[in-house]
Structure formats: structure tokens, C-alpha cells
Amino acid sequence: MVPSTGYNKIRTAVLISGRGSNLKSLIKFSRSSQSPISIDFVISNKSKADGLNYAKKFKIKKKILNFKNKNLSEKKLLSILKINNINMICLAGFMKILSKNFIKKFKGKILNIHPSLLPKYKGLNTHKRVLNNKEKYSGCTVHFVNSRLDSGKIILQKKVKISKKETVASLSKKILVQEHKLYPKAILKVFNL
């Protein structure tokens, strides 16, 4: 990707489905002078996603696309991205799978964060599966999105140690703290910064 200079930040959309804590951390990062991206659009597939409040708070345009008809929602999404000159997409807790066709149109420009040390534990209920398997470590991964679930090229990972008394809630909290640091770092890495 072409690095940005000065005020010419890469216009980015963040796609969410829920709480939006990664969205919040990305917005904060995007407003720092070191950030190569600006966040100009938030898309949610859920009308009640708490994360939408951050779009409001930080005065960022937002739109709900329910993805019940994936084809139609992706068409609308593409048109929003085009009209708003968006050049990069960050998935942040977005729980829908984008089609091959859509991904092809934004090849190499869609990033995702996943709460495991990929390629281990792709998909849902990550922390529960990690604990059931008595893993000693887990973590989080930022990767490029390709047409297979949680499978694109890995950009950065952060490992965390699992304690003896770890629960799904404590592990998820511990990893989330790291996610908020890892996503901005991965974006800097993508732009060779």
C-alpha cells in the first residue's frame, strides 16, 4: 500500500457488529499524528451495536447494513466506499463473512483482528476452545482478509500467557487489552512505518 504523507491520510472504513472497543482504539490512533489512516466511515450490520455510539461521539459518518441479503448489502457497501473515497477497510469485531467477489475488489486493503494465535482457533468461541484444550498461551492476530475465514496473511501477533485460574471472561479481557495495542501497530507495519 502507498504510504500516506502529511494530511493525506488513507481514508478508512471500520466494520463492526457489537461493542466497538477496537473501533474506539482505532479512532484514537487515527487521530494521532503518526497514524497513516483516518477513519471516515463506520458500518455496522447491527442497528443496536454499542460501537455505533463511538461514531456519534467522534462525529464519523455511519450506516447500518444488515447483511441479511449479503449481495445487496455488499453492493450498498461498495457504493458507500466509492462515494466516500474509502481506500481501506478494518474489520473490528465484524461477525459477517464478506464474499470472495467483494474481497477481490478490495484486495490487500482489508484487515481483520482475531482473538487467537492464528492459524489456531479460527472462527467463533475462541477462548472457550482454547481453555478446553488446556493451552498455555493464547493471543491475538491482525491479518489481511482473504476469501477463507481468518486465513489471510498474518501482519502481527501478540501472545499472552494463560493463568491457572483463567476463565473465558478473564482471558477475553486480557487479550482485548492487547488487541487495542496490536491493531494500530499492525497498521503502522502495513505502511512500513
Residues binding ligand GAR (CB under 6 A): 16, 18-22, 51, 92-93, 113-115, 150, 176, 179
Residue of 114, 127, 143, 180 marked active site:
114
Alpha carbon distance 99, 148 (integer Å): 9
Q: Minimum Å distance from CB 95 to ligand GAR?
A: 7
Name the residue nearer to ligand GAR (CB basis): 4 or 135. 135
Q: Minimum Å distance from CB 55 to ligand GAR?
A: 13
Place of cell 458507500: 80
Name the residue nearer to ligand GAR (CB basis): 36 or 51. 51
Q: Verify whether residue 114 is a known catalytic residue.
A: yes
Q: Minimum Å distance from CB 138 to ligand GAR?
A: 11
- Please name which of 57, 1, 34 lies closest in space to residue 42, comparing C-alpha atoms: 57
Alpha carbon distance 105, 183 (integer Å): 23
Place of cell 482478509: 145
Name the residue nearer to ligand GAR (CB basis): 15 or 190. 15
Residue nearest to ligand GAR (CB): 93
* Residues known to be catalytic: 114
